[in-house]
A and B are shown apart, each in its own frame.
Chain A
Amino acid sequence: MSTPGFHQRIRFSINGRIVEREVPVRQTLADFIRDALGLTATRLGCEHGVCGACTVIVDGASVRACLMLAVQADGAEVRTVEGLAQDDELSPLQKAFLDHHALQCGFCTSGFLMTATDLAAHGAGSNETEIREALSGNLCRCTGYANLVDAIAAVLKEQAAKRE
């Protein structure tokens, strides 16, 4: 165990790229991603876990980047919305968001996409009530939720059909 300090060197992977930096231990993962790495699609709304705008995926599970310290990501695999598209090909969820008009100002969109990516990766059902419950931790102030639910349901349905 290293001695307690105000700074620590960390190394982790973000969207498949390895980064190694010294970070102030008080810096949140969200601030590190935005300010140090310049990946500004991860948004900060409330900074206390309520709005979901900062949701990213750490080691396969969606988490609030405002409630994790950057130093805690040491050794982890982090995915942000910038990592969803493959060679400029949008992910199925991103495409569905476009097709279903699931965004307006876009402030909440990255958070919703990361939550939905976690759902899709864990084989969630496409039942509307379940999707609504799963989205309860993400707030959108302009679109209303109907188009978001439709977009995500369409992708989960297609996924389920492929599995059969």
Chain B
Amino acid sequence: MKPPNFLYARPDTLEDALRLLSEHGTGAKLLAGGQSLVPMLNLRMAEPKLLIDMNRVAELSGIERENGKLRIGALTRHRALETSREAAQAEPMIARAAREIGHLAIRNRGTIGGSIAHADPSAEWPLLAVALDARVELRSTARTRTVAAREFFTGPFTTAAGADEILTAVEFPCAPQQSGFGFQELCRRPGDFAIVAAAGRVRMRDGRCIGATLAIGGADATPRHIAEIDRIVAGSRGEDAVVREAAAAAARVLDPSGDIHASAEYRRKMAAVLVTRALREAFASVAANS
């Protein structure tokens, strides 16, 4: 249970980090909060030749609001997002989701960029990024590009990022006026990874829904945006029958797999339950806010 031997570098700038990454290619691994990577090193599931520690790259952390977007630096810790007023004002679901991640000591170190790059299908940040249609910024020595979160996750623990790219920021849209969110997670104990989770937002005008977005985590190879839900709930007042129809539609399109935590069938059923709860919560919160 000890890490393997590796070389260690601690660049102070993003430029140096990118250069090291391009020189060492797939033999190098980036170290962010270390809350997923160090367990893998201890278990010898990862054996990099070089570890590039990004913790001193100051330009990678921070939360900034501009042009209706909330830009979060990759190295921003879960705990900072849980307690940030700026983030809570722009998109309250961020603090709500952050609380569910592991435990205090994990949140004090773990980073949003690390979580999104790691791409655990049950993790909160990937779910939120897909639910809210966030964009992921990637940099290499050659270029900067942004990818929609809905296209970034390509499978369990697999993403569209290249071996020479560093995830530098995540950009969430700010929550629109007259909208409400629902965030529901099923896990055995506080701090566990979700067995299934659902996150969504509904927008209303004059008591009717004018748009909805919802995604489910833990019930497929990646967090799944359920596009049908928008069609089903748009125009409604969030009546029970509509919510139930949306939940059934979600359960139909998911392709969960079973593991020691839960069977595939249980996950599918729970996904429907959590969609129901999340939509009810979202509709109720708009009503409460207006």
Which residue on chain B has the smallest CB distance to residue A68?
A: B34
Residue B288, interface by CB 8 Å? no
Residue B9, interface by CB 8 Å? yes
CA distance A28 to B37 in the complex (A): 13
Q: Are B191 and A66 in contact (CB under 8 A)?
A: no
Interface bin, chain A: 35 or more
A64:B8 contact, CB within 8 angstroms: no
Decide if B39 is an interface residue (CB 8 Å cutoff): yes
Residues of chain A lying within 8 A (CB to CB) of residue B55: 72
Binding site for B on A (CB under 8 A): 1-6, 8, 25-26, 28, 31, 47-49, 52, 55, 61-64, 66-69, 71-72, 115, 118-119, 132-134, 136-138
Residues of B with C-beta under 8 A to A5: 7-8
Between A and B, 6 residue pairs with Cβ closer than 8 Å are: A26-B2, A26-B41, A47-B2, A69-B8, A137-B103, A138-B103
- The CA of A133 and the CA of B101, in the complex, are separated in Å by 12
User: Which of B86-94, B105-113, B138-146, B147-155 has 4 or more CB atoms under 8 Å from chain A?
Assistant: B105-113
> What residues of A have a CB within 8 angstroms of the CB of B12 in the complex?
1
- Judged by a CB distance under 8 angstroms, whether B4 is at the interface is yes
Cross-interface CB contact of B5 among A2, A6, A69, A72, cutoff 8 Å = A6
Contact status A133-B190, CB under 8 Å: yes
Contacts between chains A and B (CB distance < 8 A), count: 107
CB-based nearest A residue for B4: A26
Contacts of B20 in A (CB 8 A): 4
- Please give, as numbers and ranges, the residues of chain B lying within 8 Å of A4 by CB-CB distance: 7-9, 20, 50
| Chain A residues near B11 (CB-CB < 8 A) | 1
Residues of chain B contacted by A136 (CB below 8 angstroms): 103, 189-191
The reply to whether B105 and A25 contact each other, CB–CB distance below 8 Å, is no
Minimum CB distance partner of B24 in chain A: A4
Q: Give me the interface of B with A, judged by CB distance under 8 Å.
A: 1-12, 16, 20, 34-35, 38-39, 41-43, 50-51, 53, 55, 79, 102-106, 108-109, 189-191
Within the complex, the shortest CB–CB distance from A43 to chain B, in Å, comes to 13
B53 & A49 in contact (Cβ 8 Å cutoff): no
- Assuming the A-B contacts A26-B2, A48-B42, are A118 and B50 also in contact, with contact meaning beta carbons closer than 8 angstroms in the complex? no
* B7 close to A118 (CB less than 8 A): no
Cβ 8 A contact of B38, one of A52, A67, A134: A67
Given contacts A67-B38, A67-B39, contact A61 B5 (CB under 8 A): no
A137 CB to nearest B CB, Å: 3
Q: Which of B2, B103, B109 contacts A28 (CB 8 A)?
A: B2
In the complex the two chains form, is B53's CB within 8 Å of A72's CB?
yes
Chain B contacts for A8, CB-based, 8 A? 8
A67 and B34 form a contact (CB under 8 A)? yes
Q: Complex: how many Å from CA A153 to CA B103?
A: 18
Closest to A3 in B: B9
Contacts of B38 in A (CB 8 A): 28, 48-49, 66-69
Select which of B8, B34, B35, B104 is within 8 A of A115 by beta carbon.
B104
Q: State whether A49 and B39 are in contact (beta carbons under 8 Å apart), knowing that A68-B34, A71-B8 are contacts in the complex.
A: yes
Find out whether the CB atom of A26 lies under 8 angstroms from the CB atom of B10.
Answer: no
Q: Which residue of A lies closest to B40 (CB)?
A: A48
> Would you give the shortest CB distance from B119 to chain A, in whole angstroms?
18
For the complex, give the distance between the alpha carbons of A8 and B10 in Å: 11
**Do A48 and B39 touch across chains, with their CB atoms under 8 A apart?**
yes
The chain A residue sitting closest to B109, CB to CB, is: A63
Residues on A with beta carbons closer than 8 Å to the beta carbon of B106: 49, 64, 137
A68 contact set on B, CB distance < 8 A: 34, 38, 109
Select the residue from B9, B12, B43, B104 with max chain A CB neighbours within 10 A: B104
Please report the C-alpha to C-alpha distance between residue A6 and residue B9 in the assembled complex, in whole angstroms.
Answer: 9
CA distance in complex: A26, B284 (Å): 51
Taken together as a complex, chains A and B put the C-alpha atoms of A134 and B106 apart, in Å, by 11
> Closest 7 CB pairs between A and B?
A137-B103, A25-B8, A48-B39, A4-B9, A4-B7, A47-B1, A61-B108
Using Cβ atoms and an 8 Å threshold, which residues of chain B touch A72? Answer: 34, 53, 55
